[in-house]
Structure 1
Amino acid sequence: MFSPGRLRCIIVDDEADARRLIESYVRKVPFLELAGFAESATDGLFLIRETKPDIVFLDIEMPEMTGFELLKLLPAARPAIIMITADPSYALEGYEHELTDYLLKPVSFERFLKAVNKVDTGRAPRHLPASPEPVREPFSSTKDVHESEQDTDFTGTRNDFLLLKENKKLIKVAPSEIHFIEGMRDYLKLYWADRVAIIHMTMAKIEEALSPAQFLRVNRSYIVNKKVIREIEGNEITTNSGRKIPIGVTYRANVLAALQKNRI
């Protein structure tokens, strides 16, 4: 028998340690209640139909059937899905499935709280329990700022450097090395000359960290480094690598004005 006013949760993950961690987090939060867990996507599908949960904590890589394959079998009126994985490369596919949130293992309690609080944003703010002391790891002081104060995947100062959190690593990157940034709701794809990184952050937050003298917001979904702009034709930018990026109607005047300052 479930308590009224609580959100029913299930955990679908083939890793016992991962299940136990999320279960311990669920039990710490007063407005959550555990309805069960499954060790495979197949069992998870039946458990969802049986318990009708409000939230599913869903792993991606599982035997027999992946978490994404399970999602395709659910009806349109499905529970909130919080995907949990150790591989950040799944973020783009997760965005396409309209997930509530996407968490990277190992999941901190604070990041877990932020995810579950997104499930019912229409309700009044809930009282959240205090977070436990963080486990100290390499770059621990930087990571604490990242997770508790900024809710972004970087720290550092404008015009200096960014520390990008990619999977379990913090990578120091000079902004000048970034060619352009593509926004995908709560995730960003950062493009360099030879690689792409996916991080959990909004366009507004990373725009605050970048120098406007160096970077241009050219539409709602793209920020471009001025140095990689090869040409502009109509409402389209071509980068040095040949990538075509549209200029938004409301951004065109600002883009042209910014580039005009460097015209000879």
Structure 2
Amino acid sequence: MKALIVDDERLARNELKRLLENFPKVHIVGEAANADEAIQLIDELKPDLLFLDIQMPGKNGFELLQSLEGDVPEVIFTTAYDEYAIKAFEQNALDYLLKPVELSRLTEAIQRAEEEIHHHELEQQGRTDGTAKVLTENDQIFIKDGEKCWFVRLGKVRLFESMGNYVRLHFDDQKPLVLKSLNALEDRLDSKTYFRANRKHIINLNYIDKIEPWFSGGLLATLRSTAEKPEKIEISRRQAIRFKELLSL
């Protein structure tokens, strides 16, 4: 398991490296003192796991994650502040460790990371074997969330939203959760209809009502829905380039 440590405090990085010596399966491939260094190293080294501080000079840890595209490493936040915990888990973090990091809590986080990465490897193996059928908008899908069940045409789903280890499907006025990663789901969807807008959302192109310019070269898509308040999804800068290439004449 390749890990990258991102923290602006050298002493904090050294202490975490010392603790990680207790985990022979974790191979530290690099360390960064700020977000810009980290983004470059993530692109070069392709780590499986990110130990990420939140408050750093320049971009903070959340802004770093928002800058990443494609396959994003699993994230364990390490911080001296507890007020960011909810936001951290909204970013699909595996765990949230308070400094000074305790070995027992680090052990729990590493175990969770190993399970999640192993799960992704199994998903990838299934895709490599060609066992997963690509679904089109005309396919019927069965959805079960708790005691409720639905059997709907996939084309009715306007939005897929990552919620940690789950994905929320938006269709009609329903929003059930399914136990699946957004990356795994993306590989099952027809790219002519479904577009990865950012690391948390896949949108149905047929439901786009309006597109407008957004911050930093991105786009803002407004989706048609039965909700009183229209759903507005940001298309990241890099994905905005793909979006224009895909839909331009």
- For the pair shown, the structure with the greater C-alpha radius of gyration is 1
TM-score (norm 2): 0.46
TM-score (norm 1): 0.43
